[in-house]
């Protein structure tokens, strides 16, 4: 699965949920805060992954350390993003 698909899904569901909250005059700070934190963590992840791969990789041969580190952190962020999508899709509408 592509990381950008998860990020796009979070933004699509999160922005739509926030629009609904605004139209009902029940907007909370949790929706934009969750989107901002998640997107900021993804930006930090891509930035650090690029630096990590450049530090560990030798020309033409990436190391397994860089792969496992970036894969593990990416998986943790993917789970966090999935939980954010679940929040916007199931939990937030119940709070209205």
**Coil vs helix vs strand at 61:** strand
Between 87 and 61, the more confident residue is 87
DSSP class of residue 91?
I
Q: For the residues 1-13, what does the mean pLDDT come to?
A: 83
**Cβ neighbours for 51, distance < 8 A, ≥ 6 positions apart:** none
Give me the half-sphere count of Cα atoms (radius 13 Å) on the Cβ side of residue 66: 15
Q: What angle do CA 41, 34, 7 make, to 5 degrees?
A: 55
Cβ burial, residue 34 (10 Å; 0-12/13-18/19+): buried
For 9-63, write each residue's pLDDT tens digit: 888 888 888 888 888 887 778 888 888 999 999 898 888 877 776 766 666 666 6
């Amino acid at each position: 699965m592509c990381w950008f698909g998860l990020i796009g899904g979070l933004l699509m569901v999160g922005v739509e949920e926030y629009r609904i909250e605004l139209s009902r005059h029940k907007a909370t700070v949790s929706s934009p805060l969750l989107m901002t934190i998640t997107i900021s963590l993804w930006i930090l992840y891509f930035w650090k992954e690029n630096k990590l791969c450049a530090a560990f990789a030798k020309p033409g041969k990436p190391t397994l350390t860089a792969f496992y580190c970036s894969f593990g952190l990416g998986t943790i962020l993917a789970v966090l993003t999935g939980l954010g999508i679940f929040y916007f899709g199931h939990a937030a509408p119940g709070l209205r």
